[in-house]
Amino acid sequence: MKSHQSLSTPVQYVKGVGPALAEKLRQMGILTVGDLLFTVPFRYQDRRDIQPIAKLTPGKDRAIRGTIIRSGVSFLGARRKRIYEALVKDAAGDVASIKWFHFNDRYWKQRYAVGANILVFGDAEIFGSTWQFVHPEIDVLGEGEVPVGEILPIYPLTEGLHQKTMRKIIRSAWDNFREYLEPIYSPDMITAYSLLNSRECLELLHFPTPQSDLEMLSSGTSAAHRTLIFEEFFFLELGLALKRKGVSSLSGIAIPKNEERHQSFIASLPFQLTSAQHRVIAEIAGDMQKPQPMNRLLQGDVGSGKTVVAAAAMVQAASQGFQCALMAPTEILAEQHFASMLAMLLPLGIKCALLSGSTKGSDREQTLARLSSGDISLLVGTHALIQPEVVFQKLALVIVDEQHRFGVLQRQLLKRKGEQADVLIMTATPIPRTLAMTLYGDLDVSVIDELPVGRKPIMTRLYAEHQRQKLFSGIRHELQSGRQAYIVCPLIEESEKIDLKNATDVAEQIAAEFAQEAKVALLHGKMKPQEKEQAMRDFKEGKTKILVATSVVEVGVDVPNASVIVIEHAERFGLSQLHQLRGRVGRSEHQSYCILMADYGRSEEAKRRLQVMVETTDGFRIAEEDLAIRGPGEFIGTRQSGLPPFRIANLARDTKVLSEARDAAFKLVDHDPTLTQPQNRKLREALIQRWEGKLDLAHVS
């Protein structure tokens, strides 16, 4: 107990931290002594290697030592900008210049007085014919003092918080509080996963010795890093493992499968299910039959046919007199789902209704009344479904499509409209394994790893602006064969700042270009719901042949006759997003094309990235690349995900440690589901402290 109180002591109690500093730390999420001690350097400076000025090379992290021979305000360049400059001369007699653009005359004059013996540390550049350091770090040494060759930690900072201050308060926190850093793992775990204890770890990271392995420290691969990364993952996974254990101990609704109804549903489909679809339908059916609530993630690449799998689950629930909800992230998608569900389920006598933001007045009232009386079996809609007025009679199955667009909270709000309803969440964003283990670590996973037969891989090409005519003739060719085309632009309207193609202008240009041959429609998020619906319907019914849109068509939209998608300024989109957009075509037996119009200019990086799209249609590979390039935050919108931010762990890099941590956590929960065995006591305390109520741990306590 003592240990908690001490590490959770507010950071103001660290010597050297006053109210102003405490506020700055708070902005960085550092509230307690523990937070401070676990703020580890993200980089190190090597001060072991002090160079003669004559031997300098341009670059970061250079150190020189010398005596100040001139110090004062001077004026720079034609505009005579006021700066502060000090000249420093080293033992060999060579001189370098130090410049400050922000300074305080009086204080600088005093601190950097002529004759001072200083150590300068920073980026060395050549300016004219001299070496210069702009805003370097400086240690003023005592007279004749020779600096010890140190490796110094570099901490994350915030406005107005200096590196030196940070080092000082961490030292002070360490001196006064380190005794409270007690080992939390059982000796068994320490051996099994080769962990260090936190005190050792932090000492190695905060106070490296001149003998430390700088390579490993800097790349975050030292044993100390590994332990802390393990720890971050471990507590997350432990939370997830407990959550999963908790769900499996709840009693939900067992929904038996009506085999006859199931068979007639399958027989009514205009196509044969793939074997992957059969398999996941069986997995879901199995979950639904069990008396515990289902908590399952259905992953399947774009076009793999998740909608029909959802429908099969609904048939099972509706056949037993239960209600279902299907929530989609956009109105367009909700409407489309509603239409497909009507087509598939109405023939079986299953009544469906649609509820979105644009369902109003008596329509809405009627729908709500029929829902609460149990007359409607399936309600399809947008997040309008989670409004409090929406009351089900017997909600037993909740399906959320394109899950990554919703927050965890929205998912839960919908689930709570039933009593321990079964939950199926569907996503077309292939999630790298590591992310799946964290984001969805408490869920069972089904994967549709097969596309319907007869699909031809989409051909993807990278075009530059000068190939626009070729692009047009390509589109023309497809139109003549009876197909349709999407053109996606990053923006809706003209923007002053950036010269980007916008949907409104492009729609006009395209309409002019194809005036003789095809009708062009525009679709973007700022249009009124009815306008959007109309534009989508016209395109679906083939009344318009070309749809110029913003990325609103990104998720789920299904128009199998479309065979070309052109993405303007493809360099502006993330890979996963491009993959989703590309998935709008290739939904039938027709050969489809995706043309990435890109203006990557000098950026080799952008080109390499887009090249991945050309090389592969494998959503998982694309997702891995995307994760590596942009990190998980971008990818899944971590803010919404409910995941704690990782301080040191990196999901793209630390895959192996994550697997180990997950393994450790799940094993532990298997052996000691309540974490009450004596060797796990410390762990349990630490867990509760870390999750601070973010996790529903009722079943543990």
Per CB under 5 A, residues contacting Mg ion are 556
Burial of 95 by CB count in 10 Å (0-12 exposed, 13-18 middle, 19+ buried)?
A: middle
Among positions 560-619, residues that touch ligand ADP (CB under 6 A) are 560, 587
449 near ligand ADP, judged by CB under 6 A: no
Cβ at position 488, least distance to ligand ADP in Å:
17
As a dihedral over the C-alpha atoms of residue 503, residue 504, residue 507, residue 509, rounded to 10 degrees, the angle is -110
Query: Integer distance in angstroms from the first to the last C-alpha of the chain?
Result: 17
Q: Which of 558, 599, 634, 663 binds ligand ADP (CB under 6 A)?
A: 558
Q: Which residues pair with 42 in a beta bridge?
A: none
Distance CA 173, CA 203 (A): 12
308 binding ligand ADP? (CB under 6 A): yes
Q: Which of 208, 252, 293, 300 binds ligand ADP (CB under 6 A)?
A: 300
Q: How many residues are listed for the chain in this entry?
A: 701
Rank residues 203 and 558 by Cβ distance to ligand ADP and give the closer one: 558
Restricting to residues 58-97, name those near ligand ADP by CB under 6 A: none
Residue with Cβ nearer ligand ADP (23 or 589): 589
Minimum CB distance to ligand ADP smaller for 152 or for 448: 448
Residue 574, burial from CB neighbour count under 10 angstroms (0-12, 13-18, 19+) = middle
For residue 340, the minimal CB distance to ligand ADP (Å) is 7
In the complex with ligand ADP, the residue whose CB is nearer, 397 or 520, is: 397
Residue 131 backbone phi and psi in degrees, to 5: -80, 140
CA 688 and chain centroid, separation: 25
Binding part of the chain for ligand ADP, among 203-211, 265-273, 415-423, 601-609 by CB under 6 A, reads 265-273
Among 303, 381, 441, 490, binds ligand ADP (CB under 6 A): 303
Q: Does 429 bind ligand ADP (CB under 6 A)?
A: no
CB-closest chain residue to ligand ADP: 305
- Return the range that interacts with ligand ADP (CB under 6 A); candidates 244-252, 272-280, 281-289, 461-469: 272-280
Closer residue to ligand ADP in complex, CB, 448/491 = 448
The total of other beta-carbon atoms located within 10 Å of residue 368's CB is 19
Q: 96 touches which of ligand ADP, Mg ion, none (CB within 5 to 8 A by kind)?
A: none
Question: Could you tell me the CA-to-CA distances from 593 to 456, 471, 581, 657 in Å, in that order?
Answer: 10, 11, 12, 40
Nearer to ligand ADP, 312 or 355 (CB): 312
Q: Which range in 101-109, 271-279, 598-606, 656-664 contacts ligand ADP by CB under 6 A?
A: 271-279
Residue among 71, 274, 358, 438 that touches ligand ADP (CB under 6 A): 274
Partner from Mg ion, ligand ADP, none binding residue 308, C-beta < 5-8 Å depending on class = ligand ADP
Output the CA–CA distances (angstroms, integers) from residue 274 to 258, 296, 306, 454, in the order listed: 21, 20, 11, 11
The CB-of-587 to Mg ion minimum distance in angstroms stands at: 10
Give the pair of three-digit tokens for residue 563: 């065979």
Measured in whole angstroms, the distance separating CA 367 from the mean position of its chain's CA atoms is: 36
Q: Which of 126, 271, 433, 645 binds ligand ADP (CB under 6 A)?
A: 271
Half-sphere exposure of 307 (CA within 13 A, CB side): 23
| Pairwise CA distance, residues 627 & 633, whole Å | 9
Which span sits near ligand ADP by CB under 6 A: 211-219, 306-314, 356-364, 613-621?
Answer: 306-314
Is position 10 an interface residue for ligand ADP (rule: CB under 6 A)?
A: no
Q: Is 644 exposed, middle or buried (0-12, 13-18, 19+ CB in 10 A)?
A: middle
- Residue 400 binding ligand ADP, by CB under 6 A: no
**Minimum distance between the CB of residue 597 and ligand ADP, rounded to whole angstroms?**
24
**Minimum Å distance from CB 403 to Mg ion?**
11
Judged by CB under 6 A, which stretch of 295-303, 439-447, 486-494, 502-510 contacts ligand ADP? 295-303
- Least distance in Å: CB of 556 to Mg ion? 4
User: Which long-range CB contacts under 8 A does 521-526 form with residues at least 24 apart?
Assistant: 521/546, 521/547, 521/548, 522/547, 522/548, 522/549, 523/547, 523/548, 523/549, 523/550, 523/552, 523/553, 524/492, 524/549, 524/550, 524/552, 525/492, 525/550, 525/552, 526/492
For residue 579, the minimal CB distance to Mg ion (Å) is 13
Position among 302, 312, 324, 687 found at the interface with ligand ADP (CB under 6 A)? 302
CB 539 within 8 A of CB 521: yes
Among ligand ADP, Mg ion, none, the one that 274 touches (CB under a kind-dependent 5 to 8 A) is ligand ADP
With CB under 6 A as the contact rule, the residue among 134, 273, 348, 500 that binds ligand ADP is 273
Quick one: 37 or 298, whose CB is closer to ligand ADP?
298
At closest approach, how far in Å is the CB of 686 from Mg ion?
A: 41
Whole-angstrom distance, CA of residue 77 vs CA of residue 101: 13
CB neighbour list of residue 522: distance below 8 Å, 6 or more residues apart: 503, 504, 507, 535, 547, 548, 549
Q: Which residues share a beta bridge with 297?
A: 425, 445
- Which CB sits closer to ligand ADP, 117 or 382? 382
| Residues 646/218, Cβ–Cβ less than 8 Å | no
CB nearer to ligand ADP: give 389 or 589.
589
Classify the phi-psi angles of 170: left when phi > 0, otherwise alpha if psi is within -120 to 50, otherwise beta. Answer: alpha
DSSP 321: T
Site membership for ligand ADP, residue 452 (CB under 6 A)? yes
Strand partners, 143: none
Q: Which of 240, 254, 249, 239 is nearest to 285 (CA)?
A: 254
To the nearest whole angstrom, how small is the minimum distance from the Cβ of residue 283 to ligand ADP? 16
Minimum Å gap between C-beta 527 and ligand ADP is 23
Distance CA 7, CA 36 (A): 9
- Shortest distance, CB of residue 631 to ligand ADP, whole angstroms? 26
Residue among 418 and 556 whose Cβ is closer to ligand ADP: 556
Nearer to Mg ion, 474 or 556 (CB): 556
Dmax over CA atoms of the chain, in Å, equals 95
Which residues of the chain form contacts with ligand ADP (CB under 6 A)?
271-274, 277, 300, 302-308, 428, 452, 556, 558, 560, 587
